[in-house]
Amino acid sequence: MKAPRQMTAQEMTLPEIAVQEISESLPYWIGIDLGTSGCRAVAVDARGVTLADARVALPPPERPAPGWSQQDPAIWWAAVCRVLRALAAQLPGRRSAGLAVDGTSASLLLAALDGTPLGPALMYNDRRAITAAAVIDRAAPAQSPARGPTSSLAKLIHLAAEHTGPYDLLALHQADWVSGRLAGRCGRSDWNNALKLGFDATGLLWPEWVRTCLPTRVRLPKVVAPGHPIGTLDPALADALGLSSATVICAGTTDSTAAVIAAGVGQPGDAVSCLGSTLVLKLLSPQPIDSARHGVYSHRFGDSWLVGGASNSGGAVLLQHFSLDEIRTLSAQLDTTRTSGLDYYPLPGPGERFPRYDPTLAPRLAPRPADRGRFLHGLLEGMAAIEADGYRLLRELGAPPPRRVISIGGGAANPAWTALRERALGVPVVMAEHQEAAYGSACLALRPWPGTSASCPDRT
């Protein structure tokens, strides 16, 4: 399979409904990123140059009980409307042409068929669906990403069991619901968001085993490729937001996939390491690779696949021991041509997901030297080793070796960490020009992937 190719502006064809209006003024394309702490929107022109951006903070999710994490979708909607109005105000005389939304993976809500939420959404890290996860374990293939209490499917089964109404229910992810409300038609999802709901991204269909897990009144969304047009902006909303009613609303994606699009991967072996609170690895591969026992799964990415996993190691460990200012100061003093002499496996607490799947794995942070600079050196070195082990494992499972690693996230700006990582990985390590998931979603609306007309058979 060929890797996805970025189309030029000359090669792009927009839906006919937008062509007349776009020809009358300079168009722009919008990406919206709904994260855990904020909502950001970015507008780009036909060359992918950022024209404007806006952001608003989101309150933290509610945690009414241990392991619970939920949020009122109305909070998302208010934030989306605010950033869209702010973008429009910055671009007078220009006309919005397309829009795509990314959201946190496996954040899901139940809605009526018209899209009205029937309660709070369960966020990506909500773990209450333990009984539902056991139902899935009995039906799902061993490698399915729909396994586990945090999966979209487990959340859906849990929510459906709690709902007593007699009418049909619609399962929608965060990005699905926002996109549907913008278009005035709900019931669509995308390859990436639907993966943890049990969608078969290889066969592009809902497997029969998924239906056996669900109550009969639950409707699964129709799944299309990320970037596929699902409608145009609701005219009443367009007036209220200051946007064009001909704006094409495109199917979105997950926040991590949008960040990879923003980073600019294009060839097999391109890898993206997100150095945030945790360490997330993504590698572009010609074929999918799934290994539940290693914490590895694949997102369809155009005609190729994003293979990867997420370690619990990362910036959260550093912040347990250092302030941001101290990290910057001490990092500048490190001699990265020498080793620290320490052998750490930095974790914020017990448990690891990837490249070692061990819920009981204890952090290894001893011996601890009196020299804080050497201690930081050892932590950064340990995380670089975990990153190298992660890419080595992906290669052993059948992925291509990384030819370069593109860095995103807060840690990407740390030169000392970059030098240690480059030595451990043995390939060039570069900082992504574009770091924001919202930029990736804007690019998705601007240049849909090849094959974006593909969708799954509507069996629901």
pLDDT by residue (tens digit) across 310-339? Answer: 899 999 999 999 999 999 999 999 999 999
Q: Structure pTM? A: 0.86
Cα 199 from Cα 294, distance rounded (Å): 20
Neighbours of 24 (CB within 10 A): 9
Amino acid at 62: E
| Mean pLDDT value across residues 130-146 | 94
H-helix or E-strand spanning residue 27: strand 27-34
The structural domains of the chain, ordered by start, are 16-257+438-446 (3.30.420.40), 266-433 (3.30.420.40)
In 108-221, which residue ranges form alpha helices assigned H by DSSP? 130-139, 152-162, 174-183, 208-212
Cα 423 from Cα 313, distance rounded (Å): 19
Cα 283 from Cα 390, distance rounded (Å): 10
C-beta of residue 39 within 8 angstroms of C-beta of residue 93: no
Of the chain, the percentage scoring pLDDT greater than 90 comes to: 82
Structure tokens at 182: 């913008």
| DSSP classification of residue 351 | -
| DSSP classification of residue 11 | T
C-beta of residue 282 within 8 angstroms of C-beta of residue 253: no
C-beta of residue 355 within 8 angstroms of C-beta of residue 389: yes
* Per-residue pLDDT at 18 exceeds 90: no
Backbone angles phi, psi at 10, to 5 degrees: -70, -30
Which residues are registered as beta bridge partners of 272? 282, 406
Cα 193 from Cα 183, distance rounded (Å): 18
In 146-245, which residue ranges form alpha helices assigned H by DSSP? 152-162, 174-183, 208-212, 235-241
The residue among 221, 230, 218, 220 whose CA lies nearest residue 179 is: 230
pLDDT band at 454 (very low <50, low <70, confident <90, very high): very low
* Per-residue pLDDT at 1 exceeds 90: no
Cα 282 from Cα 301, distance rounded (Å): 11
Cα atoms found within 13 Å of the Cα of residue 422, Cβ hemisphere only: 16
85: left (phi over 0), alpha (psi -120 to 50) or beta: alpha
* Per-residue pLDDT at 450 exceeds 60: no
| Mean pLDDT value across residues 245-272 | 94
Structure tokens at 65: 């009980």
pLDDT band at 449 (very low <50, low <70, confident <90, very high): low
pLDDT, tens digit, 9 for 90 and up, residues 51-85: 999 999 999 999 999 999 999 999 999 999 999 99
Residues contacting 340, CB < 8 A, separation 6+: 374, 377, 378, 381
The residue among 154, 118, 119 whose CA lies nearest residue 135 is: 154
| Mean pLDDT value across residues 397-406 | 96
pLDDT band at 165 (very low <50, low <70, confident <90, very high): confident
* Per-residue pLDDT at 202 exceeds 90: yes
Cα 305 from Cα 314, distance rounded (Å): 24
Amino acid at 97: A
pLDDT, tens digit, 9 for 90 and up, residues 287-302: 999 888 888 989 999 8
Helix (H, G, I), strand (E, B) or coil at 222: strand
User: In Å, how far are 59, 147, 384 from 379, measured between CA atoms?
Assistant: 31, 32, 9
